[in-house]
Amino acid sequence: MTRTPFARTLGVALFALGAQTAAAAAQQTPAANLPPAQQVVEKYVQAVGGRQNIGKFSSRHSQVEMAIPAMGMTMNIDVYQSRPNKMFMRVDMPGMGVTTSGYDGQVAWTNNAMQGPRILSGTEMNEALRQADFDASLDPAKSAATMETVGERTVDGRGCWNVRMVTRTGIEVMNCFDKETGLLVGSSMKQQSQMGEMQVDVAYSDYKEFDGIRMPTKTTMSMMGQQMTSTVKSVTHEPIPDSTFALPPEIKALQH
């Protein structure tokens, strides 16, 4: 879901630091007692505002503040998204410069002070496509090739149904939906980066309504032994110029 578009970028910073534990505990439940994944996900779609509301918007701009206590770092993040799958993200890391990344519908890329401009391919490209999918966070069934309820967990004290979802590009994510409210409360996945495979565990909370759609405003991510907390400052759905998603010159130069 969109809820982890920062993981690859932040992996670079955490690797420099020298690389918590998942806030989730798996529980065994007989398969016959598990609700179908389609039912669980549909309850979530209704809980966040319904498919009609979700489909009203084609653009989204989110402003986020992220804190990494172990590094004593707070950074500002801007995420621009456009239907169906365009994305541009700008991360301002104090002392480390500005990192940008994006997907213009054809090319996934990233540019940071440590690694320079890069065009993503392979698993990194597939992960970028998953993150750029405009509907993935609010209507995940649209991008899932398969989904199956595999058990239940407890995330931050909330009992939830654990649903294994695999995107059409083969990315597997374990999403856990609150049994009572239907809202997404946790995700777990393995994410590829230049540093190798990383286990990423995310907890979602403090849902608030933006233009009729409910979104989590607090996200706690555990990755490479570090914990990061994101707080959403604002979400707007005003149109975003297509030029926002255009490839930067340094990325275009890599295409020749």
**Secondary structure of residue 12 in the 3-state scheme:** helix
Residues in the chain: 256
- Supply the DSSP symbol for 36: P
How far, rounded to the nearest angstrom, does the alpha carbon of residue 62 sit from its chain's CA centroid? 12
Contacts of 150 (CB under 8 A, 6+ apart): 34, 162, 163, 164, 174
Q: pLDDT by residue for the chain (256 residues), tens digit each?
A: 444 444 444 444 433 333 333 344 556 667 768 999 999 999 999 999 999 999 999 999 999 999 988 888 899 999 999 999 999 999 998 888 899 999 999 999 999 988 899 999 988 888 888 889 998 889 888 889 999 999 999 998 999 999 999 988 788 999 999 999 999 999 999 876 666 778 999 999 999 999 999 999 999 999 888 899 999 999 999 999 999 999 999 999 998 6
Contact 91, 62 (CB under 8 A): no
For residue 94, the model assigns a pLDDT of 84
Single pTM value for the model: 0.82
What stretches of the chain show up as alpha helix (H) in DSSP? 7-17, 37-47, 51-54, 122-132, 249-254
Query: Which of 226, 222, 223, 181 is closest to 203 using CA atoms?
Result: 222
Q: Tokens standing for 13?
A: 């910073």
- Supply the DSSP symbol for 256: -
Distance, in Å, from the CA atom of 144 to the CA atom of 167, rounded to the nearest integer, reads 4
For residue 113, the model assigns a pLDDT of 83
Q: How many helices (H) and strands (E) does the chain have?
A: 5, 14
The amino acid present at 10, given as its one-letter code, is L
